[in-house]
Amino acid sequence: MEPQPKVCYLCAEPVAAGELDDEHVFPENLFNPGDRADLIKLPAHRACNASYSKDDEYFRLCMTTAAGDEPKAKTLWNGPVLRGVHRPQSAKYKAYIHRSLREVEVSTEAGIHLGKAHVMDQDAARIQRVVQRMARGLHTHLTGDILPRDWPVSCDLLDPRTRTDPGWSLFCTGVRTIGNGTVCFAVKRLDEDPRDALYWIVFYDSIDFWAFTGTKIQGAIDAALAKIQERA
């Protein structure tokens, strides 16, 4: 289903033609050029869209750093991510990144010392803002409906080991991939209100997030998990 035309999915207000922008639900910069054929776009205000551009750059830096040797992330990290940090006009951004880096001693699991490495203290609020916007966009993309501006949306990093949890298959059926696997997502919607939903979103097959739209879905999931545990 197509979303209602010319309503901004970010602020739920009408968009005049001169203010209209096509906004990527998953920012284009997360994808290598050869992986951009099936990106999801929605109408948004130019200003609403632009308000995320710095967060999007930060998000890509964090995700490609955290994804380590995953090939798609590594290609981005070695190309546009590093170039972005070293642009002369991004001196302020560079200083910000440097402040959030801290040096740590690295050892293997067996305790072999590998020397020093930089670890980023990632700014959780900025990352959450980006993932919450993605959940909002997925809702509009999948239902054609736009969430009210004040509709609660929350998200958190998810331990990838959760994928082997026995309750997992209940929630995450019909996994869809975008950009040749750059991003995967699955949805579980509450029958009573389609605006209440759980989204599972994975970047570079490495970094997993939960996102919740609405507040009732979490209770429904807890109840379902409790039932599974009773049976076990």
**Which of 6-9's residues contact partners 24+ apart within 8 Å by CB, and which partners?**
6/43, 7/43, 7/146, 8/43, 8/44, 8/45, 8/48, 9/42, 9/43, 9/44, 9/136, 9/137, 9/140, 9/146, 9/147
Shortest distance, position 39 Cβ to Zn ion, whole Å? 20
- Ranked by CB distance to Zn ion, the top (closest) residue is 8
- Which residue stretch of 10-18, 87-95, 137-145, 199-207 sits at the interface with Zn ion (rule: CB under 5 A)? 10-18
Shortest distance, position 12 Cβ to Zn ion, whole Å? 8
Question: Of 24, 21, 82, which Cα lies nearest the Cα of 47?
Answer: 21
121 touches 61 (CB < 8 A):
no
Shortest distance, position 127 Cβ to Zn ion, whole Å? 21
Question: Residue 103 contacts by C-beta under 8 Å, 6 or more apart in sequence?
Answer: 116, 117, 118, 119
Tokens standing for 21?
């922008």
- Which residue stretch of 2-10, 91-99, 154-162, 184-192 sits at the interface with Zn ion (rule: CB under 5 A)? 2-10
Answer for which of 10, 147, 198, 202 binds Zn ion (CB under 5 A) is 10
By the rule CB under 5 A, 85 interacts with Zn ion: no
Shortest distance, position 176 Cβ to Zn ion, whole Å? 26
- Which residue stretch of 4-12, 34-42, 132-140, 143-151 sits at the interface with Zn ion (rule: CB under 5 A)? 4-12
Query: Could you give the CA distance from residue 228 to residue 217 in angstroms, rounded to a whole number?
Result: 17
Select 10 or 187, whichever has its Cβ closest to Zn ion.
Answer: 10
- 97: helix, strand or coil: helix
By the rule CB under 5 A, 8 interacts with Zn ion: yes
- Residue 219, beta-bridge partner list: none
Answer for which of 48, 76, 142, 178 binds Zn ion (CB under 5 A) is 48
Shortest distance, position 196 Cβ to Zn ion, whole Å? 23
Q: Which residues bind Zn ion (CB under 5 A)?
A: 8, 10-11, 45, 48
